[in-house]
Amino acid sequence: MLIKSITLENFGAYKEKNTIDLSVKGPKQNVILIGGENGTGKTTLLNAIKIALFGPYTYGLKTESSKYTQEIYNYLNTQALRENANNFQLILEFSEVENFEKIDYKFVRAWHFKNNNLKEELQIFKNDSILNESEKEIYLAKLKESMPPQLFDLCLFDGEEISRIINDNLLSSYLQRLSKVVFNLTLFENLETDLEKFSSRKAQEEGSSLDNEILSIEEELQQAKANKEELEQVHQEQEENNIELKEQLASLQKDFETHGGLYKEERDDLINQLNHIENTRKELSNEVKNYIGTILPFQLNKDLLDQTVKQLDSENSQQVFKEFSSNLNENTLHSILNDLDLDEKENAQQTLKQSLLTHMQPEYDESFHSASNDQKNKVTQMNALVKENTPDHYAGLLEKNQSLLEDAKKIRKRINTHDQTNEFTQMIQNIEQLKVKIENSENEKENLHAKLKETNENITSVEQKLETKEKERYKAHKQRNALGLIKNLIDTSKDFRNMQQQKKLHEVQSEALSMLKQLMRKQRYISAISIEAESFDISLYDKDQNELNMDKLSAGEKEILLLSLIWAMFKASGRRVPFIFDTLLGRLDKTHKSTVLSKLIPASGEQTLLLSTDTEIDEFHYDLIKPHLSHVYTLDFNNEKQSVSIQPDYFFTVGNEESK
C-alpha cells in the first residue's frame, strides 16, 4: 500500500479543506517530512489516516456504535460546529498492487448531522469507479486481512511508545506480538485450534478415558491461554485508554492555561498577589510623598542648608564667647592667678583677661538668626536627613512602584479574562472528570495485572498436569489412534510454525545486526544478536562471543536496537506497508540521530512518513535527509483562528524553493 494523499475537512484542528500530498517520487525519494510543534495536529493527521481506512475497526468495533460516534464527534472541528457547518470528511487516496496490476483507491468517509444525530457515509472508488455496497463489503473484508488495523499500528513508530517499551522492559513481548502479525503465523495457530476442537469431538466419540482426560486438560489449558490473551488484550487496551486519557488531560490543561484559565487556588493566589502589590505600592507612595513634602525642598537647597548649619555653629560659638567673657570678673581672674601661683602685678588681671578673650575670639562675629536651641536642633536633624536620603533612592522607589503597577495590570488582565469566559467552568469540570477516569483506569490496570498473574500461575499448573498425563499416555502406547495422529499433526504444525518462525528470526537477527552496526556509534561493540524463539528474549554478544549486559546500554542505544529489530522484522516479512515515524528522534543524541536519518529511515520501505518537532531536526540533520525527501510540510497552529495551516516547507526553509 502506498498512500497518495489525505484530505481533512473540519476534522480536529483542520478547519475547512486541507489536503496533504503524501506521494513519493521514487525509491530514492521515499520520505515525506512533516514538521510541527506540539499540539499542531500531527497525531490528528495519523489518526485521520487510520479512521479513513478502518472506521469503527480503528477502536476495535465491528460496526458503528454510540462509542464510535462519540469518538468521531470529539474530532469534529469546534469552530465549524459553532458555525453550524454540516460538512466533515476524510479523503484518503492510495494504491495497491493486485494480480501484478497497480490499482488506485479513494476512500471518502464523511459525517453529517441528521435530526441532531451524527451519521457516517463511506464511498470507495476503484480507479475512479465507485463500488456498490456488495463490492465495498468484499473489499473491506479483504483490506482487514491484508492490512489489519493492528498491522497499521505496528507500522507507526511513536517516540513515546518506543520509550515506554524500553523503560518498561517490554521489548520481548512487543517483538512477539509483532512477529505474529507481520509473519502471518496466526493462520497456523487457527489451524491448530480447529484440530484441537476436532480432536476433542472425536475423543468423546471414541470414549477413551485417558485421551478424554488429556483433551479436557488441553481444553482447560487452551481456555486458560485464551483468558490470558484476552486479559493481555484488555490490559493493552486499558493502557492505551489510560495514555489517551492522560493526553486528553494534558491537552485540556494546556488549552485551559493557554487561554487564561485559572483554577480556584490560582485565582485566590492572584488576588492575594494583587492585594500585596497594592499595599506595597501604597507604602512606597507614602514614603515618596513624605520625602517630597519634607526632605526634597531642603535637598534642592542643600548648599543653603549647609551654610545655615555653619552660620548656626558660628553663632553658637559667639554665644559661648559672650557668656565666657561676661563671667571673667575680678574675682574669677584673681582665682585663676592664684591657681596658677602667679604674682598679681599691676594690670595682671586685665592682661590675663585680654589674652583669654583673644584666644577664644570666634572667627566670625556676625549674627543673623538668633535661633533657639530647639530650632538649631531641627536644622541639624534636617541636614542629617538630607545627607542620609539621596534622590537616587527615591527614584528607585518610583521605578519599583511603576514595575509593580505593570505586574498588577497583568494580574488583573488574567483574572478578568478568566472571570469573563464561561467556557472555563466547563473545562474545569472536564479536567476533574478526566482525573477521576484516569484514577479508575489505574485501579483497573492493577486489578488486571493481578488477574494476569493468577492466570499465569494457573497455566503453569495445568501444563504440569498435562505433561504428567501425556507421559501416561505415551506409556500406554496410545499414539497410533486417530487422536494421537491429530495430536501429531498439531505438533507438526507447531513445529513447522516454530521452524518458520526460527527461520524468519535468523533472518531478522542478521538484518538487525547489519542495520545496528550502521546506526550505532560503537560499531564493533555488538557482534551478534540472538532472539530466543519461545520467549523472544534478546541476547547480545561481543566479538569474543561474551554475552553483553543490555542494562548497560544507554536509553538511546536501546532505542536504536529496538528500531533495528523492528525494521528487520518488516524486511524479513516482505510486507509492502508505509512506515510512520512520529517524533522519534527527541531522545537520540546527534550521532544516533544522524545515522537514523541517513541509514534507517531511507531504507524503511517504499514510503516513509517522518513527523518531527522543531527541536528534533535542525539544519544539519535536515541536510542529511533532504536527498530522500519527496515532500516537506510544516503544520502551524493559529491561536487566533484556532486552526491548523499547512505550509509547503520546513521550519527554517521558508521561501527556499530548492528545499521544497
CATH code of the domain containing 578: 3.40.50.300
Q: Examine the domain organization and report whether 350 and 498 are in the same domain.
A: no
Q: How many structural domains does the chain have? A: 2
Q: Is residue 204 part of a domain?
A: no
According to the model, what pLDDT value does residue 484 have?
67
Q: Is residue 445 part of a domain?
A: no
Q: Examine the domain organization and report whether 391 and 516 are in the same domain.
A: no
Q: Which residue has the higher pLDDT, 107 or 182?
A: 107
According to the model, what pLDDT value does residue 131 have?
93
Whether 355 shows a pLDDT value over 90: the answer reads no
Q: How is 534-559 classified by DSSP, letter by letter?
A: TT--EEEE-TT-PEE-GGGS-HHHHH
End position of a domain, from candidates 418, 441, 469: 418
Distance CA 303, CA 571 (A): 93
Q: Examine the domain organization and report whether 303 and 176 are in the same domain.
A: no
Q: Is residue 478 part of a domain?
A: no
pLDDT digits (tens, 9 = 90+) for 466-514: 888 888 877 765 445 566 676 777 777 777 777 877 888 898 889 988 8
Q: Is residue 237 part of a domain?
A: no
Q: Is residue 396 part of a domain?
A: yes
pLDDT digits (tens, 9 = 90+) for 392-402: 888 888 898 89
Coil vs helix vs strand at 35: strand
The owner of cell 536627613 is 385
pTM greater than 0.75 = no
Distance CA 625, CA 187 (A): 39
According to the model, what pLDDT value does residue 523 have?
66
Q: Examine the domain organization and report whether 280 and 397 are in the same domain.
A: yes
Whether 168 shows a pLDDT value over 50: the answer reads yes
Q: Examine the domain organization and report whether 147 and 58 are in the same domain.
A: yes
Burial class (CB in 10 A: 0-12, 13-18, 19+), 660: middle
Q: Examine the domain organization and report whether 42 and 175 are in the same domain.
A: yes
Torsions phi, psi for 359 (to 5 deg): -70, -25
Q: What is the mean pLDDT of residues 554-558?
A: 83
End position of a domain, from candidates 418, 442, 468: 418
According to the model, what pLDDT value does residue 19 have?
94
pLDDT digits (tens, 9 = 90+) for 400-430: 889 988 988 888 887 777 666 556 667 777 8
Whether 51 shows a pLDDT value over 70: the answer reads yes
Q: Examine the domain organization and report whether 174 and 40 are in the same domain.
A: yes
Q: What is the mean pLDDT of residues 70-99?
A: 90
Q: Examine the domain organization and report whether 132 and 39 are in the same domain.
A: yes
- Label residue 31 by pLDDT band (50, 70, 90): very high
pLDDT digits (tens, 9 = 90+) for 205-242: 554 577 788 888 888 888 988 998 888 888 888 888 88
- Return the sign of the alpha-carbon dihedral for residues 564, 566, 568, 571: negative
For residue 630, which of 19, 63, 123, 27 has the smallest C-alpha distance? 27
Helix 171-182, helix 186-206: angle, nearest 10: 80
Distance CA 507, CA 324 (A): 120
Q: Examine the domain organization and report whether 31 and 162 are in the same domain.
A: yes
Distance CA 382, CA 309 (A): 10
DSSP state, residue 526: -
Q: Which residue has the higher pLDDT, 587 or 186?
A: 587
Whether 536 and 566 have beta carbons less than 8 Å apart is answered as no
Whether 123 and 113 have beta carbons less than 8 Å apart is answered as no
pLDDT digits (tens, 9 = 90+) for 120-131: 999 999 999 999
Whether 57 shows a pLDDT value over 80: the answer reads yes
DSSP state, residue 131: -
Q: What is the mean pLDDT of residues 259-279?
A: 77
Query: What is the residue range of 324's domain?
Result: 268-418
According to the model, what pLDDT value does residue 256 have?
66
- Label residue 106 by pLDDT band (50, 70, 90): very high
What is the distance in angstroms between the CA of the first residue and the CA of the last residue of the chain?
25
Q: What percent of the chain has pLDDT over 90?
A: 14
- Label residue 464 by pLDDT band (50, 70, 90): very high
Whether 541 shows a pLDDT value over 80: the answer reads yes
Distance CA 69, CA 46 (A): 19
Whether 48 shows a pLDDT value over 60: the answer reads yes
Whether 79 and 642 have beta carbons less than 8 Å apart is answered as yes
Whether 657 shows a pLDDT value over 50: the answer reads no
According to the model, what pLDDT value does residue 479 have?
46
- Label residue 346 by pLDDT band (50, 70, 90): low
Q: Is residue 135 part of a domain?
A: yes
Apex CA 599: angle with CA 506 and CA 542, to 5°?
45
Q: Examine the domain organization and report whether 291 and 154 are in the same domain.
A: no
Query: Between β-strands 101-114 and 88-98, what pairing exists: parallel, antiparallel or unpaired?
Result: antiparallel
Q: 637 Cβ partners below 8 Å, 6+ apart?
A: 13, 36, 37, 39, 40, 41, 643, 644
Q: Give the CA diameter of the chain.
A: 167
Whether 644 shows a pLDDT value over 80: the answer reads yes
Cell matching residue 128: 475512479
